[in-house]
Amino acid sequence: MPNALTGHLRVEANRDRCDGHGQCLLAAPTVFDVDEKANKVILLDPEPVEGLRAAVQRAVSMCPMGALEIVG
Ligand code: SF4
């Protein structure tokens, strides 16, 4: 469910699980990036607007490590 007050999602990324291959970046490039030195995901926008739900959900589904979650 989106935050009723803001209309934004809440996204979490588990960097310990991430292997840095960037599927999430392809799905939602305004929300995720990859730190190429650390080879880990960077959460650019932890509270994306509701309109990005489909893209973020796609990123969650595409992540091979199960490192991403929509938590609110
Ligand atoms: S898709 Fe998952 S494993 Fe790959 S960079 Fe994104 S969070 Fe990390």
Write out pLDDT tens, residues 13-27.
999 999 998 999 999
Residue 5 belongs to a domain: no
Give the SS3 label for residue 58: helix
Closest CA to 59 of 25, 11, 12: 25
What is the C-alpha separation between 61 and 22, in angstroms, rounded? 13
Domain of residue 37, residue span? 11-70
If you measure from the C-alpha of residue 28 to the centroid of ligand 1, how many angstroms do you get, rounded to a whole number?
11
Q: Residue 56: inside a domain, yes or no?
A: yes
Q: Is residue 1 part of a domain?
A: no
Helix (H, G, I), strand (E, B) or coil at 62: helix
Q: Is residue 4 part of a domain?
A: no
Pocket-testing residue among 41, 43, 45, ligand 1, by greatest number of atoms within 8 A of Cβ: 41
pLDDT at 2 over 80: no
Number of structural domains (the chain) is 1
Separation of CA 32 from chain center: 5
Ligand 1 centroid, distance to 5 Cα (angstroms): 29
Spatial separation of the C-alpha atoms in residues 57 and 35, rounded to whole Å: 21
The pLDDT tens digits for 33-61 are 999 999 999 999 999 999 999 999 999 99
Question: What pairs with residue 32 in β-bridges?
Answer: 43
CATH of the domain at 51: 3.30.70.20
Assigned domain for 44 exists: yes
